[in-house]
Structure 1
Amino acid sequence: MAKELIISREYEKQQLQDCYDSKESQLVIVYGRRRVGKSFLINQFFNDRFDFKLVGDYRLTKEEQLYNFYDELKRQSGKIIDTPKTWREAFFLLRDYLDEFKDDEKHIVFFDEMPWLDNQKSGFIQAFEYFWNSFGASKNNLMLIVCGSATSWLVDNFDHNKGGLFNRQNCRIYLEAFNLYETRKFLVEKKGIEWSHYDICECYMILGGIPYYLNMLSKNMSPSQNIDNLFFKKRGALWDEFDNLYKSLFSKSGNYIKIVESLFKKKIGLTKADLLQETRLSDNSAFTKMLKNLEDSGFIRTYRYFGNKKRGTFYQLSDYFTMFYLKYVKDNYGKDEGFWTHHLDNPSRRSWAGLTFEQLCKDHIKQIKKKLSIAGISSEVSVWNTSSTDEHDGAQIDLLIDRRDRIINACEMKFSENAFEITKEYDENLRHKVSVFKEITETKKAVQLVMVTTYGVKKNMYSSRIQNEVTMEDLFERV
């Protein structure tokens, strides 16, 4: 097993090893956003040594998928077999093939991108269900791995299955994007790239911690040149990734794109009612399902509004690639092949970096809590805002950590090229935020200001108002 080739993923590798060592049959489900490295993890961990492996493709018909099944099984078994006409026939052939193996040897079957095998009215999932319950579950020497980017399909057919697959999986592995620590490790060990933490942060705010995208970066180019090469150069590697990404994951992808475009326009997020108004889509179970699919697939996040359950769940766009595409690539592709390099000092780029850094901080809450020495304290993360009234101006706090020990950390996040300076005007703004927050929420807890910045806060007459600081270096900590 080629575990040494896999960057990080220590917990997931241990999960796979435990399943392999088990004396019972194992049905392993591997979830995760498209391009996050699910197939790579499994292929590398088992060194591509499978007793049977089939890869689905969303562009193929049922007949074409069945032919691929036949071709793979014929190659593995070395026998002359008939091409199956149905998935039930296919799984009967697979059963006969696996039944010939010795019981004292572990055998691995891998269905990669399984959701794409389940074409409309194909009968795939019913045939698979019968295969596993009638044969696979009783074979103690069998480890069957199911993988897919269409996370919602896996959730529906395994986690929420009300038939024969209910509670059948032995192990669920949700593969998340790399955090900053893992991203730096990947760039150094895999790509030989030694960039500053500042440059890695900015790169992360474009590509996220998605290994497939990170692997496209070149050590022979600057960070900005890399982004130009991937996005703005004609026929760059990622010029058509956005459309392919959504089309391959979601049927009626246009409606999904309407949702993410609406969320992109509202940084703090939108409620379901707001989204319905913005997208003009119908308020039905299909819309609710689309929101769930986007969340399960890692494109949006849900969060609560501090102290006000009546406002309901907020939805926020959280996929860095999507945010960058909608902000800069959608309307600029092909117009300026050096667009990102030419806009190094552009105010729009600085504004984008500041707003996206807030998302990065929310994705590194564990690191922030570690720095604040509150990792072991129960807490909830939320946001808060209020509109202007006759009594006060509006105010907004984008990250609140509400702690069980009766303290609320109000976090301000700033992405800057140097130590951040708190001016008189900004100090007044901070005072106003905290004052209005206490007044509106009527909280009895102590409110402490935390600055999360790239290079810390410059010491001056106003900096003493900050109770705690978290810097960019802290966000790269291993947790």
Structure 2
Amino acid sequence: MSAMSKNNISGRSKEISVLERVFLSTEPEFIVIYGRRRVGKTYLVREYFGDSICFEITGMHQVSLDDQLANFAQSLAKAAGMMFDLQKPLSWSEAFSQLEQFLDASDQHKQGKKQVVFLDELPWLNTPRSKFLSTLEHFWNSYGSRQKNLILVVCGSAASWMLQNIVRAKGGLHNRLTHQIRLMPFTLPETEEFLLNRAIKLTRYQIVELYMAMGGVPFYLMQAEAGLSAAQIIDQVCFSSTGLLRSEYEKLYTSLFDESELHMKIVELLSKKRSGLTRNEIVNGSKITTGGRLTRVLEELEESGFIESRIPYGKKKQDLLYGLIDEFTLFYFFWIKPLGKRFLSSGYWMSRQNDPARKAWAGYAFETLCLKHVGALKSALGIAMVETTDGPWRYKADQQSPFPGVQIDLLIDRRDATINLCEMKFSQSEFIIDASYAKELRQKINVFRQVTLTRKNIFLTMVTTYGVVNNAYSQELLTNTLTIEEMF
């Protein structure tokens, strides 16, 4: 077996089980791994397959076919252990022919060992009019699919391109894939494991704080240094002149999307609307005319994990609400973009602890975090095995409305004739329900009942950092209280 080092991989248990099946297979395997930039695709492949990778090439961004073929020649020479570059192939057809010859002549092939061919950043290899994709199809159909010990791994950050051209391919690659992995950012428990493996010991409250700023993106989390608090890490990574995330935003979107200015326009619009926007509201706000172009941009943002579409309770698919769910993008619009190129003294973030804008951002970011961990919240409520649907609900009041407007960010509609109406609140200590908030909660429940005419139980459920202070209002209104502990 290869020198697989699963011990160095944090989390990713589902993905590792897929890779184990692939490695132990007695058939040729063609696996696609896609996910946003910096999410750890390359690391996962290299760490898991180790010495079994006999050839690896990484596509170069926005270069010519000539440059990509020179890149191929260098990669093949490196794989063959040559001290000098091979002659550059004149086409992808010639390049893949050289690759076949190399694989057939390798020691791994002769010894009947697994051979992993790793093509990274595949969309970048596919330059215009290069015939890369059709040549890859031919390579797999005429050669790869006949090699019992071959594992072809293709990766890409442009999720929509990978889905359209590889996963849902209509041509020669149709139904050729044997496995696919959509690599998502870490969950909270995976983030905790990742940080501990790097000797970074933070309380769960501080892990949540860090996650709300940069999400579960491994490469961002790698910037954290042991011995620093979450606030110090955020200061260093997001606000210092050399911090990775100070200049990450545009690089992130331009590397992933063609016409990235459209994608950036939509996420900026969504960052200003905590309750989400309908498609028509996005059309009006972005001035992108409705039709195929907008559909494509929204699909690309959703497939890459930046936004999420949710069907509000009691509504149809055409009433979808789109919301921003990428923590870093949200943090960028609240905190990094307003600074421009301003040089900051150290401790900027720590000095913002009591800023009202911080409270607004934290409320938004904490809701996003909770929505990503609904499965864990359901388990904590003891309803993991109950059939449920979850989504937002909003009632827009007009001049004739008998009720005020209401926004509920999470309803869990259960098969057992019960609805959990969830309120998510981030606070630095136990949350206090006061008279005015109690009135608001009663109003939400009342308007929801009156408008939907539901006969189900309504259980008001609070999700907070440290729980809720026990007082007359909490006793009157709450059925369940959950804390951040339930999400780990």
The two structures have a TM-score, normalised by structure 1, of 0.96
Amino acid at match of 2:456: K
Match of 1:431 in 2: 442
> How many Å apart are 1:27 and its aligned residue?
0.2
Q: Percent identity?
A: 41
Match of 1:121 in 2: 129
Report deviation, 1:365: 0.4
- 1:53–1:72 CA contact under 8 A, matched in 2: yes
Please say if 1:52 is aligned against 2:59. Answer: no
> Are 1:281 and 2:281 an aligned pair?
no
Judged with a 3 Å threshold, the aligned counterparts in structure 2 of structure 1 residues 39 and 180 are, in CA distance, closer, same or farther, namely same
Paired with 1:209 and 1:310, the residues of 2 have a C-alpha distance of 29
Query: Are residue 8 (structure 1) and residue 19 (structure 2) matched?
Result: no
Aligned-CA RMSD value: 1.5
Structure 1 distance, partners of 2:256, 2:344, is 30
Which among 465, 472, 476 is matched to residue 484 of structure 2? 472
1:125, CA displacement in angstroms?
0.6
Name the counterpart of 1:139.
147
The one-letter code of the counterpart of 1:27 is F
Q: How does 1:360-439 map to 2 (within 5 A)?
A: 360-389=369-398, 390-439=401-450
Between the aligned partners of 1:88 and 1:290, the Cα distance in structure 2 is: 32
CA contact (8 A) 2:39 2:183 kept: yes
Tell me how far apart the structure 2 counterparts of residues 405 and 303 of structure 1 sit (CA, whole Å).
22
- Alpha-carbon distance, 1:218 to partner: 1.1
CA contact (8 A) 1:158 1:167 kept: no
Q: 1:158 to 1:374 in 2, by over 3 A?
A: same
**For 2:152 and 2:113, how far apart are their aligned partners in 1?**
14
Which ranges in structure 2 are unaligned for 5 or more consecutive residues?
Answer: none
For residues 330-383 of structure 1, give each alpha carbon's deviation from its aligned partner in whole angstroms, at most 9, with x where no partner exists. 121434333211111112112211121111100110110011000001111111
2:57 pairs with 1:86: no
CA distance in 1, matches of 2:339, 2:90: 47
What SS does structure 2 have at the residue aligned with 1:437? Answer: helix
**Higher alpha-carbon deviation: 27-36 or 327-336:** 327-336
Alpha-carbon distance in 1 for matches of 2:111, 2:447: 69
- The amino acid of 1:167's aligned partner reads N
Of 367, 374, 382 in structure 2, the residue corresponding to residue 358 of structure 1 is 367
- Residue 2 of structure 1, CA deviation: 1.1
- Do the aligned partners of residues 81 and 224 (structure 1) sit closer, same or farther apart at CA in structure 2, a change above 3 Å counting? closer
List aligned pairs for 1:104-253, cutoff 5 A.
104-190=112-198, 192-253=199-260
Provide the rounded CA distance (Å) in 1 between the counterparts of 2:314 and 2:268.
28
Q: Which amino acid aligns with 1:346?
A: D
| Counterpart residue identity of residue 164, structure 1 | G
Residue segments in structure 1 that go unaligned for 5+ positions in a row: none
Q: Say if 2:101 is the partner of 1:96.
A: yes
Q: 1:28 aligns with which of 28, 31, 45?
A: 31
The alignment partner of 2:118 has SS state of strand
Contact in 2 for aligned 1:305/1:311 (Cα 8 Å): no
Structure 1 SS opposite 2:31: strand
Aligned counterpart, 2:279: 272
How much has 1:88 moved relative to structure 2? Answer: 1.3
Q: Distance in 2 between matches of 1:148 and 1:238?
A: 21
Contact 2:397 2:404 in 1 (8 A): yes
TM-score (norm: length of structure 2): 0.94
1:456 matched to which residue of 2? 467
Shift of 1:441: 1.0
Map Cα deviations across residues 379-436 of structure 1 (whole Å, 9 max, x no partner).
1111111123441211111100011111110001111111111112111111110110
Q: CA deviation at 1:84?
A: 0.9
Contact 2:310 2:391 in 1 (8 A): yes
User: Which secondary structure state, in structure 1, belongs to the residue aligned with residue 311 of structure 2?
Assistant: strand
2:132 and 2:455 map into 1 onto residues whose CA distance is: 57
SS in 1 for 2:73: helix
Deviation at 1:284, TM superposition (A): 2.7
Question: Which residue identity does 1:254 align to in structure 2?
Answer: E
Whichever residue aligns with residue 309 of structure 2, its letter is T
Tell me which residue corresponds to 2:266: 259
Once residues 261 and 453 of structure 2 are traced to their aligned partners in structure 1, the CA distance between those partners, rounded to angstroms, is 43
